[in-house]
Amino acid sequence: MPPKLIIFDFDGTLADSFPWFLDVFDTIADRFRFVRLDRSNIDGLRHLDARELMRRHGVPLWKVPMIAAHARTLQGRDLDSIRLFDGVAEVLGALKNRGVKTAVVTSNARENVETVLGTSATQIDHYACGASLFGKAAKFKTVMKAMDIMPGHTLAVGDEVRDIDAARACGMRAGAVAWGYSAPERLAADHPDYMFGTPSDILSVLD
């Protein structure tokens, strides 16, 4: 059954912010006193989920809200360097034309999200921003309640294992993208309902 609602992650799913993430990682690491990035093993980084990344770099859970807030501020400063992935704007427009509701659930700030989306921001029906690192399931439930759409009619699309896990916790279908922060092989190992190789592949769920 085609979804009535598709909930998108932002960074790494709609927006190509991974290069920016790599650029600011060490600055954030120095500020909050955790281990810097091993730039000889970026591919290895993409095979870690969020909890594994935190353990590898010595990030305690209590620091995460402060780190996330600082990252949002830095990204707000650097928005000129962040763009939507090719094809994303067209997919959002096609979903709108097909009558599929869309939402964005992200730990990022709404101002950052709307700035990067540009004219595509009007294609999104609902925003739930500022989600905690492992708090997406609660945001998913809030969005579905606000839009009066049941989990069985909802698809969550993201680029990390935690996106898949949050969707499953809510009884939703999970779609993983191959172009984001996490390696496709790492995502496939978590057995999402869909793997999307390009943004346009997302439209296949409507058939």
Name the residue range of residue 75's domain. Answer: 18-81
Q: Are residues 26 and 57 in the same domain?
A: yes
| Alpha-carbon span 30 to 48, nearest angstrom | 21
Q: For residue 51, give every residue at least 6 positions away whose Cβ sits within 8 Å of its Cβ, in sequence order, or none.
A: none
Q: Are strands 101-105 and 5-8 parallel, antiparallel or unpaired?
A: parallel
The total of structural domains in the chain comes to: 2
- Tens of pLDDT along the chain (207 residues)? 899 999 999 999 999 999 999 999 999 999 999 999 998 888 888 999 888 999 999 999 999 999 999 999 999 999 999 999 999 999 999 999 999 999 999 999 999 999 999 999 999 999 999 888 788 999 999 999 999 999 999 999 999 999 999 999 999 999 999 999 999 999 999 999 999 999 999 999 998
Q: Are residues 197 and 150 in the same domain?
A: yes
Q: Are residues 41 and 115 in the same domain?
A: no
Q: Are residues 55 and 44 in the same domain?
A: yes
Q: Are residues 142 and 198 in the same domain?
A: yes
| Alpha-carbon span 30 to 41, nearest angstrom | 19
Predicted TM-score (pTM) of this structure: 0.94
Q: Are residues 101 and 57 in the same domain?
A: no
| Alpha-carbon span 35 to 32, nearest angstrom | 9
CATH of the domain at 134: 3.40.50.1000
**Contact present, 154 and 172 (Cβ < 8 Å):** yes
Q: For residue 63, give every residue at least 6 positions away whose Cβ sits within 8 Å of its Cβ, in sequence order, or none.
A: 32, 34
End-to-end CA distance of the chain: give it in Å, rounded.
9
* Domain termination residue (choose one: 81, 112, 134): 81
